[in-house]
Every structure is written in structure tokens, then in C-alpha cells.
Amino acid sequence: MTKLIYVAIMSAFVNNVVLGQMFGVNAVIRGSEKIGYALRLSLSVIVVTFLSSVVTWPVGEFLLNRFGLSFLQPMVFLIIEAVIVLVLVKLVKVKFPKRKQVYSQILPLIVINSAVLGVILMNVQVGYSFLRSTVNSVCGGLGFAAAVIILAGVRERIRFNDVPKPFEGVPILLVVSGLMAIAFYGFTGLV
Amino acid sequence: MKKDTIFKRLYHGILIENPSVVLCLGLCPTLAVTTTAKNGLAMGIVTAAVLILSEFVISLLKRIIPKKDRMIVYVLIAACWTTIVQLVLNAYFPDISESLGIFVALTAVNGLIFGRADGYAIENNPFLSIFDGIGFGIGYTLIITILGAIREILGIGTIFGIRIIPDGYTLSIAALAPGAFFLLACLIAIANKIKGGRRV
Amino acid sequence: MTVMKRILVVVITALVAFALVIAAYFVTKDKVKENEEKKIEQAFEAVYPDAASFDEANYRTDYLQRFLEENGYPDDQVYVNKVTFARNEVRDVQGIVVQVSSYKKYGGIISMLVGVKNDGTVNGYSILNISDAKGLDFKVRDSEFADQFKDKKADRFTLVNYQAKLANEILSANGAEDASQAVLKGVNAALLTNTFVDEYFGGVLGQ
């Protein structure tokens, strides 16, 4: 049990998906424009990563690796992820028709979010157990959520700051992310 | 007329719409593997290869690809070329394959590829699409190699393996995650400053 | 475009994509295998250059695992994949080569070979693979770090950050602390394995 807590903290904070492993940076930069968007993006990422991981782990372990087809991991996992996203889009359309932004913008773009693919590939390639993979995926998603939501918050705060002209836009966000990355190093003390 | 446009494609990709510092696409590999100049160069070539091949195929198939499902077709094609490039890398350049690690596979979801596929290849002829890929590929490779070189010099003290600064005087953080963020921010800022001066 | 046609295009694209990839796999398969075998061969050469022949040791892996665990190395930190005897021309066992996989603290595994002589001297190590390599991790491949272990004898090595004073202290590679720690665990596990092999094969070695 303590081991799982350790894994959870590692995945979410110490080895943060965005700030430590540097997956999904594009999504974080573009998704942090408004806090509301960031929240919806985070939730979508957590759900998609969790579902994808649950399906791709058995496929990776028992189908691909067993028969030496590990080179097919990216393609197969991407297809699985795309199918899951398709299903989710339909589901959200039916159940929450008012959440147009979620199903028409956020979910489709998650397919090309390297955070999701990165996490599910790592799980299978490093050879984690199913339990550890799942915890890693959910907490990886939480880590992503932490990064994008905090960045959205900071972005709102610095909206009226006097940023040097060349740094306006993406560069200042990268600087903030860099500072966040350093801050997250502090979590090392937790484990 | 055609000759004009090849040049235009290259000019666009390398300068005006440079994927790394202007459009800010494909940031993940840019930040993650640029710990050395060699890694940056290798990653750039890999991305460029997948970009060119994908744009070519998508442009060839542009009449057949259904408008509503084009995203999934792009993903399939990009993933296909990415895997092929990865296999070639494993066979003939295994040390590069190991250095780049999982990010070769993540090229399949690199925003640059989808940006160009949807922004150019789906509407233009295959020949020009190849050059669009070459242009943006060169632009991307240029920036990430420069970033890799800077991070290598500051972080380890070598450039392409040749030692310049003795060990112990290096700024390790340049080679770690936060350094990547800061240095890329500076590069983009420099590009913005240069761009701001010209009336492009 | 009808739904049927859309589905058809997507499915055919997928099939063609898979076909191409599988074709590429078969074309490159042998070269990859060749690379892998050469890498392992070179690694064996590097850790035990004066061995005339190698052969695999047969032992109870759970006994070894338990032994390692008793000495502070449970199998979620480091585990031994294979133990190989290094023999000289007259088939005497000179030492062992241990293939060990060591978990890095922040994720990833370092797979390496460690050469240990009968008397417990470390010949050196050779890194086979670093998964999830971050930034400066590959520094542990450099002779600057690796040579610290060469021809050293110790019961257990420890990692220090500033200066290596005692004989069994190893200076951590700057910027690659995580990987350094993992390599250290691997070498220590190999030393423990040597002790284990001594006890297990009881006196067979060095005859």
C-alpha cells in the first residue's frame, strides 16, 4: 500500500509528466489560456489516460510483447486511444449536449497530446505491473492537471504585468513553467 | 511559377513560420531531447523525415481522405512513418535510438506534423508538399540543434562531444528540465525581437 | 461521402500502414538482432577482458533474491538477471559477470553488466541500457564516473557528493545523481552476488 502511495506521489509530483518528463508541453501552453478550459482539459486527460492505460496495458503485455511485436506499440496504442476518444465524444454529446467545447475541441485534440501517449507507452516499456501502471496513469494525469491549472492561474495573474515585449506570449509562459519545474524538484523531499 | 513556390516553401518553413520559435509547435521533443547538440540534430532529422513523408502521402491521398475523419487518417499515416523511421534507427543507428528514447515514438503525435498536414498538404500538390516538409523540417532542426548546442555547452561543457568548458564549471541546470524551459524561452524571445524589427 | 466510404478509407489506410510497418520490421529485424548481440559481446569483453570463455551459472534465483533482500536490496530496487562464470584457458573460474537491472529513483531501469573477480575486486561495469534516460544520465557511461569502480575492492560502495575520501566512496556524477545511485546499487548487488555464489557453489570456484 505504501508503495502505491509512493508511486502516486512520484508520478504526480516528483516526476511530473509535464515539468519533469516533459511530455504534453504543447497542450499545457495552449490549454492554460483560461482556468475553465484548463479544468476541462485536465479532467479529459485524466479520464482518457486512465481508460487508455487500462486497455493498452493488457494489449501491450499479452498481445504485443508476448509475440515480439513491441514495435507496434505506438500505432496500436494510438488507435486504442483514438477509439476511446471517439466513444467518449459520443458519450459526452449524448449525456452533456451543452458541453460543446469538451467534445468538439478538447477531446479530439487529446489524441495528439503526447502526455497521454507518453505515459501509456512508458508503462508498458518500463514493464510496470498493471496496478502500478494504472496508478501511474491516473497520477500522471493529475500531475498534468496540476501543471496546466497552476499555469492558467499564473497566466491570469500576470496578464497585466509589464512583460518585456520579446517575451510576450509563449516565452514568458515557458519561463514560468521552468520556475514551476524547479519548484516541483522540491517535492523530492516527500519520498 | 513553380520555382518561386519551392523557394517560398523553404523560406516560410525556415524563417517566417519557423515551427519552433514562431509557431511554437512540437515543443515536447524540443525541450526533452536537446540535452546535447547531437541529440537535437538527430531528433530534428527524425521529425523532418516523418514530416516530409507524411506530407507527401497525405498530399497524394488528398482527394480520398474524408474531411470529417481526416484527423484519424493523419494519425495513422504519421504513426506509420514514425514506426518505420524508428525501426530504421534501431537497426542502423542504435546509439541515437537509445539517446532519443521514447521521443522518437512520440513524433507520431507531434503537433508540427498535423499542423502542416492540415495546413498545407491536404490542399496542395505532392511535389510542393515535400518541399513544405523540407522547409519546416529544416527550420525545426535548425532551432533544436542550436538549443541542443547551447544546453550542451552550458550544461556539460562540450559541443558535439568536443570539450570546451572544463567539468565543474558547468551550469548543470541547463541540461535539466528547467533549463530547457528557460533557454527555449530566450530563443523564442530573440526570434521575436528579430521579427519585431522587420516588417514581415 | 457516405459513411461506408469513410469507414473504408480509414480501415484501408490502417491496413496499409500496418503492412508497411511490418514489412519494415522484417527488413530490419536481423540487423537489430546483430546489433544487440554485438553490444552484449562488447560489454562482456569490457568487463572481463582476460577471460577465455564464459558460461552461465545455474542457481536458485529465489535464494539469490532472498539473500539480496536480507542485505538491503529488495527486488523492487535491483535484481539480478543472470550470472555468468568467467573462466581462463584451463577452465578455472576467475570471477563472475553479473547482469543486473537497477531501478532509478525517478523512474526507469539501468541494465548493466558488472565483472567481479573471485576475491571480490570489481573489474568494472558496462551499461547495457538506460530506459527513461533523463538529461545527463548518460554520464554514468563516461570513464570519468565508471573508472572509480575499476579494480577496486570493497564490501560495499557508498555514494558521496563532494569528495571521495575513503576507499569505498564513489563521487556521484554531477547532474546524474539518480543514475549514479542506480549504478551504485547495481555494483553493490553484484558484490553481494559474488559472496552468494561463493557460498552457494562452496569451494568449486578457483580450483
Secondary structure (H, E, C), A68-79 = CCHHHHHHHHHH
Distance CA C200, CA C64 (A): 9
Q: Which of A123-137, B65-79, B169-183 has the lowest mean pLDDT?
A: B169-183
Give the pLDDT confidence score for residue B200 in this predicted structure: 41
As a whole number, mean pLDDT of residues C53-70 equals: 83
Give the pLDDT confidence score for residue B3 in this predicted structure: 56
B32, A174: Cβ pair inside 8 Å? no
Looking up cell 519561463 gives: A175
Distance CA B103, CA C125 (A): 27
Residue spans per domain, chain C: 1-47, 53-201
B75, A82: Cβ pair inside 8 Å? yes
- Residue B197's pLDDT band (boundaries 50, 70, 90)? low
Give the pLDDT confidence score for residue A44 in this predicted structure: 92
Residue in chain A lying closest to C134 (CA): A21
Residue B38's DSSP bridge partners are none
Q: Which of A33-42, A137-146, C32-41, C84-93 has the lowest mean pLDDT?
A: C84-93
At residue C71, does pLDDT exceed 90?
no
User: What is the pairing mode between strands C158-160 and C169-171?
Assistant: parallel
Distance CA C49, CA C43 (A): 10
At residue B59, does pLDDT exceed 80?
yes
Of the ranges A62-71, C44-53, C183-192, the best mean pLDDT one: C183-192
Mutation site for B-interface testing, chosen from A13, A26, A84, A144 by largest number of B Cβ within 10 Å: A26
At residue B186, does pLDDT exceed 60?
yes
At residue B120, does pLDDT exceed 70?
yes
Query: SS3 of C170, please?
Result: strand
Of residues C193, A146, A119, the one with CA closest to residue B28: A119
As a whole number, mean pLDDT of residues B143-170 equals: 82
Report yes or no: A153 at the B interface, CB cutoff 8 Å. no
DSSP A105: I
Q: Cell numbers of A57, please?
A: 496495458
Report yes or no: B184 at the A interface, CB cutoff 8 Å. yes
- Residue B126's pLDDT band (boundaries 50, 70, 90)? confident
Residue in chain B lying closest to C134 (CA): B176
Regarding predicted confidence, which is higher, A147 or C88?
Answer: A147
Q: Do residues C159 and C121 touch, judged by C-beta distance below 8 A?
A: no
- Residue C46's pLDDT band (boundaries 50, 70, 90)? confident
Distance CA C101, CA B48 (A): 35
- How much is the ipTM here? 0.88
At residue B113, does pLDDT exceed 60?
yes
Regarding predicted confidence, which is higher, B13 or B134?
Answer: B134
DSSP states of B93-110 as a string?
-HHHHHHHGGGTGGGGG-
Q: Which of A167-171, A184-188, B60-64, B163-167 has the lowest mean pLDDT?
A: B163-167
C17, A75: Cβ pair inside 8 Å? yes
As a whole number, mean pLDDT of residues C61-86 equals: 84
Helix or strand run (H / E) with residue C90 = none
As a whole number, mean pLDDT of residues C181-192 equals: 89
Of residues A187, A48, A166, A23, the one with CA closest to residue A107: A48
Give the pLDDT confidence score for residue B166 in this predicted structure: 73
pLDDT mean across residues, chain B = 86
Report yes or no: B16 at the A interface, CB cutoff 8 Å. no
Give the alpha-carbon dihedral of A13, A113, C132, C56, to 10 degrees: 130
Helices and strands of chain B, counted as H and E runs: 9, 2
Regarding predicted confidence, which is higher, C128 or C136?
Answer: C128
Mutation site for C-interface testing, chosen from A126, A182, A185 by largest number of C Cβ within 10 Å: A126
Q: How close C179 gets to chain B, by Cα (Å)? A: 14
- Residue C207's pLDDT band (boundaries 50, 70, 90)? very low
- Residue B23's pLDDT band (boundaries 50, 70, 90)? confident
Residues in B touching C134 (Cβ below 8 Å):
176-177
> Under 8 Å CB-to-CB from C195, ≥6 apart: which residues?
C120
Q: Which of A49-58, A72-81, B10-19, C22-31 has the lowest mean pLDDT?
A: B10-19
What pLDDT digit, counting tens, does each position of A160-183 carry? 888 888 888 888 999 999 999 999
Distance CA B189, CA C191 (A): 52
Of residues C142, C147, C106, A20, the one with CA closest to residue B167: C142
At residue B84, does pLDDT exceed 90?
yes
Give the pLDDT confidence score for residue C155 in this predicted structure: 82
Q: Do residues B51 and B141 touch, judged by C-beta distance below 8 A?
A: no
Which of C32, C144, C174 has its CB closest to that of B172?
C174
Residue in chain A lying closest to B193 (CA): A166
DSSP A29: H
pLDDT mean across residues, chain C = 84
As a whole number, mean pLDDT of residues A9-18 equals: 86
- Residue A30's pLDDT band (boundaries 50, 70, 90)? confident
Buried b (16+ CB within 10 A) or exposed e, C88-105: eeeeebbbbbbbbbbbbb
As a whole number, mean pLDDT of residues B77-96 equals: 92
Percent of chain C with pLDDT over 90: 7
